[in-house]
Amino acid sequence: MMRLPPFQYLAPVSVADAVKLMADHGPEAMLVAGGTDLYPNMKRRQFEPTVLVGLRGVRDLAGVRRPGAGAVAIGAGTTLTAVARHPEVRARYAALATAAGAVSTPQLRNMGTLGGNVCVDTRCNYYNQSYQWRKAVNFCMKKDGEICLVAPGSPRCWAVSSSDTAPALWSLGASVRLAGPAGERTIPLSALYQDDGIQYLTKQPGDIVTEIVLPPSDGARSTYLKLRRRGSFDFPVLGVAATLHMDGPTVRQARIVLGAVASLPRESVEAGRLLVGERLTPEVIDRAADAAYRPAKPLDNTDLTHPYRKRMVRVYVARALRRLAGLPDEAEA
C-alpha cells in the first residue's frame, strides 16, 4: 500500500498554542484537522511536511455559536456531517447544508471539517497522482516540476478549486475568522481566495481559520448544485451556489458563485446583477444563466471534458435559479 512519509505530529490544545507551533516550525509545518485531504496527498508526496500541527485537540474549534444579531458562527473544526445535519443551518442556509452534505462520502464527512473544506487544496488530474506517476510525465509546477501540464505556455498553475462549501459560503456572504501571529482578524470569505492554483489562499500558511461566520439569513433562499458523475465520493467538476434575497416576487439581491471552474470560487457578478429588480421568470433566469456561462473557462484537468463542463454552467445555473423560483428543472420540450 501507499505509505506516509515520516513526520512529527504535534497536538496543541489551544488556538494560541497552534499558532505558536506553526510560527516556530515555519514552512516545514502544515496544519491538519480531519486529514481526509492532507494524508492521501502526503502519501502521493504532493506535500512533504516534516511537522504536522494537529487541530483535533483544540476543542474550541468545533461547534456552532450565535454571536448575536441573527448571525451564526461555525467553528472551523466542526465536521461536515455536523454542518450538514445542523437544524438551523438546514433551515436558514440551505446552500451550505447541501454543499457540506455533498462532500465526498459519509465516512470522510465524519472526519473532514468545514475549515478543512474551505481550505482544501486545489486539484488537477496532472497533480493528484503518485510521485511515480508524476515522474512519468515530468512533474508539474505545483509540485516538483517547472511547467503547467494542462496549459504548458502559462506562467501560472491552473489547478481547480474543488471545495463544495466555499461557493456556498461565498454566496451566503460568509466571512472567516483567522488567528495568526499578529492576532485575530475577520475577512470576507471571498477575500480568502485568489486565482492561482498554487497560492490559492491569501492567508499566510501560519494563519489558522478558526471560525466561519454567516450573516443573518434575513429570509434569503439559497441552494447548491453539484455536477459529478456519482452520487457520492466525487469532487465537484462544477458547483453552483445561489443565494437570493427577495422583496415579494422581486429579487432584491442575488449572489451566484461557481465552483470548480477556476482556481478559486468565482462569483458571476453579471448574472447576479441581471436578476436584481426582476421577477424570476424563465426568461430572466435564462439571461442570468447565459451571463454566468459566457466567462467560465474550465480547463481539461478534471473528470468530464472541459467543453462539456462549460456547457453545464448554463444548465446548472438555470436549474439552481429555477429551483429557487419553484420551477421544474427543465422547461417542457
Partner 1 sequence: MNKDRFSIIGQPLPKIDAWAKVVGETKFADDLVMSRMAHGKLLRSPHAHALIKRIDTTRARALPGVYAVITGHDLPRVKFGILPVSQDEEALCVEKVRMVGDAVAAVAAVDEETAERATELIEVEYEPLRSLMSIEDSLAHPEVRIHEYGDRPNVHKAVSLQFGDVEAAFAAADLVREDVFYFEGNTHLPMEQHSALAQWGADGKLTLWSSTQTPHYVHRLLSRILDVPPAHIRVVAAPVGGGFGGKLDPFAHEIAACRLSQLTGRPVKFTLTREEVFYVHRGRHPVLMWIKTGFKNDGAITGMHFRSWLDGGAYGSYGVASTFYTGALQTVTYKIPVYKFEGARVFTNKPPCGPKRGHGTPQPRFAMECQIDKAAEQLGLDPADMRRRNLAEPFVKTANHLTVTTIGLGECIDRVVEASGWREKRGHLPPGKGIGIACSSYLTGAGTAIYWNDMPHSGVVVRADRSGLVAVLCGATDIGQGSDSILAYLVAEVLGIEPKDIRVHPADTDLTPVDLGSYSSRVTLMAGNAAIQAAERLREKIFAAVAQKLEAQADQLAVGERRVFVRDDPERGVSFPEAVVLAESMWGVLAFPGSYAPPRRAGKYKGGGVGPSPCYSYSACVVEVDVDRQTGLVTATEVWIAHDVGRALNPLLVEGQVEGSIYMGLGEALMEEQVFRKGVHKIPSLLEYKSPTTLETPEIHTILVESDDPEGPFGAKEAGQGPLLPVIPAVANAVYDAVGVRIDETPITPEKVTKAMDSKRQGKPARVGPERLPVFRFPEARVVESAFGHPAEDIAVRPFASAPHPLPRGERVRGGGAS
Among 16, 23, 91, 136, binds partner 1 (CB under 8 A): 136
DSSP state of 28: G
2 contacts partner 1 (rule: CB under 8 A): yes
283 binds partner 1 (CB under 8 A): no
Q: Which of 125, 144, 201, 327 binds partner 1 (CB under 8 A)?
A: 125
**Identified binder of partner 1 from the candidate list 128, 163, 165, 210, rule CB under 8 A:** 128
Distance between CA atoms of residues 71 and 296, nearest Å: 32
Cα of first residue to Cα of last residue in the chain, in angstroms, is 51
Contacts of 316 (CB under 8 A, 6+ apart): 225, 227, 238, 240
Find, among 158, 117, 166, the residue nearest to 265 by Cα.
166
Residue with smaller CB distance to partner 1, 195 or 330:
330
Pairwise CA distance, residues 155 & 168, whole Å: 30
In the bound state with partner 1, the residue whose beta carbon lies nearer, of 110 and 232, is 232
Asked whether position 330 contacts partner 1 by CB under 8 A, the answer is yes
Q: What gap in Å lies between CA 245 and CA 217, rounded to an integer?
A: 9
Name residues contacting partner 1, limited to 146-205 (CB under 8 A): 149
Strand partners of residue 266: 258
- In total, the chain counts a number of residues equal to 333
Q: Helix 282-293 to helix 306-325 angle, to the nearest 10 degrees?
A: 150
In this structure, what are the phi and psi dihedrals at residue 131, rounded to the nearest 5 degrees? Answer: -55, -45
* CA distances from residue 12 to 32, 67, 76, 181, 182 in whole angstroms, order as listed: 11, 25, 16, 15, 19
Q: Does 90 bind partner 1 (CB under 8 A)?
A: no
Q: Examine residue 315 and tell whether it contacts partner 1 (CB under 8 A).
A: yes
d(CA 57, CA 11): 6
For partner 1, which is the closer residue by CB, 1 or 69? 1
The DSSP element (H or E) to which 307 belongs, if any, is helix 306-325
User: Total residues at the site for partner 1 (CB under 8 A)?
Assistant: 34
Q: Is 107 in the site for partner 1 (CB under 8 A)?
A: no
Nearest approach, Cβ of residue 21 and partner 1 (Å):
25
Question: What HEC string does 164-192 produce?
Answer: CHHHHHHHCCCEEEEEECCEEEEEEHHHH
The residue from 59, 65, 135, 279 that contacts partner 1 (CB under 8 A) is: 135
Residues 218-237, mask of contacts with partner 1 (x by CB under 8 A)? ---------x-xxxxxxx--
Report the nearest approach of partner 1 to the CB of residue 135 (Å). 5
Q: How far is the CB of 144 from partner 1 (least distance, A)?
A: 13
* Least spacing, CB of residue 154 vs partner 1, in Å: 17
Return the residue of 89, 275, 312, 313 that touches partner 1, per CB under 8 A: 312
Contacting positions for partner 1 (CB under 8 A): 1-3, 6, 125, 128-130, 132-133, 135-137, 149, 227, 229-235, 303-305, 307-308, 311-312, 315, 319, 329-330, 333
